[in-house]
Structure 1
Amino acid sequence: MTTHRTNSPGFDDATAESNRAPEALRSSMVEGIAARHEQLGRAMPTAVEAALRTVPRHVFAPGVELEAAYADDSLVTKKNERGVNISSVSAPTIIAGMLGQLDVQPGHRVLEIGSGGYNAALLAELVGPDGAVTTMDIDPEVVDRARTCLDRAGYDHVRTLRADGEFGAAEFSPFDRIIATVGAWDIPPAWREQIVDGGRMVAPLRTKGLTRSWALQRCGDHLVSRSHLMCGFVPMQGAGEHRGRAVPLYGDDREQVGLWVDEDQPIDAAALASAMAGPRAETWSGVVVDKGEFFADQDLWLVTLPEFCVLTAQQEAIDQGVVSPSWRLGTPALVEGGTVAYRARLRPADPETGQGPYEFGAYAHGPDAPELADRLAEQIRIWDRDHRAGPEPVLNVFPAGTPDAELPQGCVLDKRHSRIVLSWSEYTE
């Protein structure tokens, strides 16, 4: 279904050329997304590709240069008084991946939580004339902006709501699909209750600082994952807001290196900051990875450890040699007392040539640095031996209060509304 407005007769050549430019940029954007899907061993669904080729993304990015509107990057649309991003149009590759996870079919009723307008327009293309799309946000400014852009692009049939997404949109339920485009710490009961049995939701779920987009299918009273993707999103506001805790460790403002931990995780910040100024221990695992090989599931294995948190570092600290993490903005780490260990920047298995494959290792600071580095390296070996070539991790989401005896085996993460179980085998009743 193509619903956006096109040129009308009588436009001069210059106007026609200016309207062809977005189409060329959009085509290039889609080809790039398809290539990245192929690199990751995934195929972009035909319907998602068609929607991306149809919806004029630049209309949802007023004031942004055309090239930037069609770049594979997120577009920040609002910041709070502290300069923190609180609303954005997500990067096209992330959008395409999540829409693929959602598996929208013609005629579906879809709820989007977190509104920017562009994703809602793509959903409108996917559900077709017999479906219905509702997009909601807690921020009236964001909703008004989405409404204006949707109308301008020709998607006036998409419903916009200003309300707290924690509670869904019961008056328009049940939904066949629900998608959250904001980072959630938990799965609210309303989302599960407002989706049909067998329906699917996609949500960027954050656990111990690690975010994954999980496709979750409703199976009676619980949800079970069907796929997951790496992603990053601005956090939910309102009743579902849940902030983690940033623990600064190094720098003049002690923010050049830091940890991101759950609010209730015990951390001795002073001892860890002192440890960062001391010597570094290292252990190498013997586990290697080829250049470009996907290994993000290793992070999900490490998140099951009680000591898990996430290390972040500014480039300045890396250049100074203070830390050398595998990823600057989210490297798996372990904390125990006054000691911190983190996954090291991968090193070439052949140091003479500097070529791959590349080996995983661990760096650590603190009084028990050698032992904690060894523990992290051993967990990488366990992942390599038991899970790397096996089934993908599975997430089961049960209501809070579900007895232990009714949960599958795995790592249990208790949240406000849910008992989440991360395992490597699907739950069957």
Structure 2
Amino acid sequence: MPFRNRRTRRVLGSGGYNAELLAHVLGERGRVVTVDVDPYMVHRTQRLCAEAGSGRVTAILGDGGLGAPGHVPADGFNGIVITHNASDIAPAWREQLAQGARLVVPLEMGGYTRSLTLVRRGDVLHCGHWTYCGFVRDRGAAARTAPAARTAPAVPLADGDVTVRWEDGTPGDTAGLDEALRGHRHERSTGLVVRGSFNFETLQVYAATTLAGFCRLSAPTGSPLVAQQNAAAILANGSLAYLTYRKVKDAPEPADRSTEFFIHAYGPAAEELAERFAQCVRVWDREVRESGYPSMTVHPAATPDGQLPPGDVLDKPSARLVLPWPGRTPADAVNLSTTGGQRA
């Protein structure tokens, strides 16, 4: 972390051990404020940091989604590190961050968590780095707090053999899906065959942020209806399609194995949805696979469409994420908001 000049550096973090490590990295002029909603964790942090002896960590009880009011330096924190899965970008994190400083946050997008390094420039956060990760869920005001929403909205289908859930946006209409799942399964190859160990983490986020009607399917082991226990899917017109794979070539050595990506689909619009998902995979393979994650920007929730840069939009309650995926034109751009639909 680039905290090496003589200015006093102040960072908002979390967790006793992690906070003390941050203080060590920051050096003698560094200061760390750590916030936790659990009184036991705050007490434990205070005790352990006192034993460590740096004297540069302040542990406070509070909702981390509100930052650390009363402890914010005049020009903002030089860094903020979130150490739980966040479903949203809390406004306080941006507002309490100094200009040019970094916010590191494990953010969920379509149910896939990626640790992001965001740099504040004005009221916009610019993503400079993505990392595959997973953390515990948030517990404060930013968390899903309603009893039925502690996890994503979910609907069981086919007597519980399949569950469809939505991590972002409005839940889709599942009418007709029970009947569809009892009918014929349409199968379509994406044409993508990969060898050996294969990283498709960008495909997960690409599908979640570019496919209208995106959702996730879960099924018990051995389900006759869904081959994957946890699958990316799209839903529309009483039909659904999901991404799966099958072995093309098996071999003792992983590097010698081949796997083909397939789409399975059910319902009257099965062929249409299967082709739409397959096309998504083909475009990803052609345009995104080798280029990595896009230079995403994060804007305040009140930002009008006309003030957003080009790209696909994923709306959170407190932020608007714009992802300029390569190979996508303005006409392709989708707004996966709480109301859904196509962005003009």
Bin of the TM-score, shorter chain as denominator length: 0.7 to 0.9
| Equivalent of 1:140 in 13, 28, 39 | 39
Tell me if the contact between 1:124 and 1:158 (Cα under 8 Å) persists in the aligned partners.
Answer: yes
State the 1:363 CA deviation.
1.2
TM-score w.r.t. the length of structure 1 is: 0.66
Secondary structure of 1:239's aligned partner: coil
Structure 1 residues 117 and 278: alpha-carbon distance in aligned structure 2, compared to 1, 3 A threshold: farther
The alignment status of 1:362 with 2:268, answered yes or no, reads no
Secondary structure of 1:419's aligned partner: strand
Aligned ranges for residues 26-425 of structure 1 at < 5 Å? 103=1, 105-106=3-4, 108-112=9-13, 115-152=14-51, 154=53, 157-173=56-72, 174-242=76-144, 243=149, 244-251=152-159, 254=160, 257-262=162-167, 264-269=169-174, 271-303=176-208, 304-313=210-219, 317-325=220-228, 328-329=229-230, 331-344=231-244, 346-350=245-249, 355-390=256-291, 392-424=293-325
State the 1:224 CA deviation.
0.8
Structure 2 counterpart of 1:379, which letter? Answer: C
Structure 1 residues 270 and 139: alpha-carbon distance in aligned structure 2, compared to 1, 3 A threshold: farther
What's the counterpart of residue 10 of structure 1? Answer: none
What's the counterpart of residue 98 of structure 1? Answer: none
Secondary structure of 1:212's aligned partner: strand
State the 1:385 CA deviation.
1.4
Report Cα offsets for 1:43-69 as digits up to 9, x if no partner. xxxxxxxxxxxxxxxxxxxxxxxxxxx
Tell me if the contact between 1:116 and 1:145 (Cα under 8 Å) persists in the aligned partners.
Answer: no
Secondary structure of 1:134's aligned partner: strand
State the 1:172 CA deviation.
2.4
Q: Distance in 2 between matches of 1:183 and 1:250?
A: 31
Tell me if the contact between 1:104 and 1:126 (Cα under 8 Å) persists in the aligned partners.
Answer: no
Structure 1 residues 122 and 372: alpha-carbon distance in aligned structure 2, compared to 1, 3 A threshold: same
* RMSD of Structure 2 on Structure 1 (CA): 2.6
Structure 1 counterpart of 2:170, which letter? Answer: Q
Q: Distance in 2 between matches of 1:271 and 1:231?
A: 36
Secondary structure of 1:185's aligned partner: coil
Secondary structure of 1:306's aligned partner: coil
State the 1:401 CA deviation.
2.2
State the 1:191 CA deviation.
0.9
Report Cα offsets for 1:90-135 as digits up to 9, x if no partner. xxxxxxxxxxxxx3534632111xx442322332232222211111
TM-score w.r.t. the length of structure 2 is: 0.81
Structure 1 residues 390 and 142: alpha-carbon distance in aligned structure 2, compared to 1, 3 A threshold: same
Between Structure 1 and Structure 2, which shows a larger proportion of strand residues? 2
Tell me if the contact between 2:185 and 2:265 (Cα under 8 Å) persists in the aligned partners.
Answer: yes
Tell me if the contact between 2:78 and 2:101 (Cα under 8 Å) persists in the aligned partners.
Answer: yes
What's the counterpart of residue 333 of structure 2? Answer: none
Tell me if the contact between 1:167 and 1:188 (Cα under 8 Å) persists in the aligned partners.
Answer: yes
**More displaced 10-residue stretch of structure 1: 199-208 or 261-270:** 261-270
State the 1:392 CA deviation.
2.6
Report Cα offsets for 1:350-400 as digits up to 9, x if no partner. 479995332211112223223212211111001111222235322211112
Secondary structure of 1:238's aligned partner: coil
Structure 1 counterpart of 2:233, which letter? Answer: A
State the 1:212 CA deviation.
1.7
State the 1:270 CA deviation.
5.3
Between Structure 1 and Structure 2, which shows a larger proportion of helix residues? 1
Q: Distance in 2 between matches of 1:165 and 1:138?
A: 7
State the 1:263 CA deviation.
6.6
Secondary structure of 2:88's aligned partner: coil
Structure 1 residues 250 and 136: alpha-carbon distance in aligned structure 2, compared to 1, 3 A threshold: farther
Structure 1 residues 212 and 375: alpha-carbon distance in aligned structure 2, compared to 1, 3 A threshold: same
Structure 1 residues 276 and 128: alpha-carbon distance in aligned structure 2, compared to 1, 3 A threshold: farther
Which sections of structure 2, spanning at least 5 residues, go unmatched?
327-344
Structure 2 counterpart of 1:170, which letter? Answer: P
Structure 2 counterpart of 1:341, which letter? Answer: A
Structure 2 counterpart of 1:319, which letter? Answer: G
Q: Distance in 2 between matches of 1:370 and 1:318?
A: 26
Which sections of structure 1, spanning at least 5 residues, go unmatched?
1-102
